[in-house]
């Protein structure tokens, strides 16, 4: 059986090392991608309305945290 992979073994190992070293950031990126995909492809109008409210509340929290730091 032929190896049809386009990514080299060295690159796959480097990717794995990065994911292990940056596990929290990798999870953040994965979750962000999933959220965007859901919004673009699956969300209903009801979902979007709920998400708008959740985003508004999250923005308030972040704004308050930012004001405390200043």
Predicted model pTM:
0.72
Q: pLDDT tens digits for the chain (70 residues)?
A: 456 778 999 999 999 999 999 999 999 999 999 999 999 999 999 999 999 999 999 999 999 999 888 7
- 26 burial via Cβ count (<10 Å: 0-12, 13-18, 19+): middle
Domain borders along the chain are 9-69
Two structure tokens written together for 60: 């308030």
- Cα separation of 30 and 24, whole Å? 10
């Amino acid at each position: 059986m032929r190896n049809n992979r386009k990514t080299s073994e060295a690159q796959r190992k480097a990717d794995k090392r990065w994911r292990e070293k940056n596990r929290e950031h990798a999870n953040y990126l994965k979750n962000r991608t999933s959220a965007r995909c859901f919004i673009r492809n699956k969300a209903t109008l009801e979902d979007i309305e709920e998400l708008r409210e959740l985003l508004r509340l999250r923005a308030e929290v972040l704004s308050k945290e930012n004001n405390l730091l200043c």
